[in-house]
């Protein structure tokens, strides 16, 4: 519902229940040894924080375009989703912020 890590992607809020219009979650563990915190409002991603525990490449799938602080990232639109990718360093945190459409 809140995070899916599959096929080397972290899909943020893939199946957010309509009964949870706003909220947050922290400490989710994802494949690639990432830790994820997510904040959403009005059924949309507002911000996420990702900690890289191994320094792997991070690939995000979101329903809204995002910016990622402090790194060079690429973002492409694929159907109804935005795919963002960036290199990480072991132990570093990355703040992902939704860009208003």
pLDDT, tens only, 78-91: 999 999 999 999 99
Any idea what the Cα angle at residue 85 is, between residues 101 and 12, rounded to 5°? 60
Cα radius of gyration (the chain): 12
Domains present along the chain, CATH in parentheses: 3-98 (2.60.40.1180)
- List the one residue out of 66, 62, 101, 60 whose CA is nearest residue 79: 62
Q: What is the pLDDT of residues 34-79, one digit of tens each?
A: 999 999 999 999 999 999 999 999 999 999 999 999 999 999 999 9
Tokens of 57: 């490449």
């Amino acid at each position: 519902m809140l995070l899916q890590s599959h096929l080397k992607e972290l899909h943020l809020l893939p199946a957010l229940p309509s009964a949870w219009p706003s909220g947050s979650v922290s400490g989710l563990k994802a494949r690639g040894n990432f830790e994820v915190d997510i904040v959403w409002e009005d059924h949309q991603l507002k911000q996420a924080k990702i900690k890289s525990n191994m320094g792997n490449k991070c690939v995000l799938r979101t329903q809204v375009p995002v910016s990622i602080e402090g790194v060079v990232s690429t973002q492409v639109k694929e159907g109804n989703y935005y795919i963002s990718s960036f290199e990480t360093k072991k132990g570093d945190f990355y703040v992902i912020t939704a860009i208003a459409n």
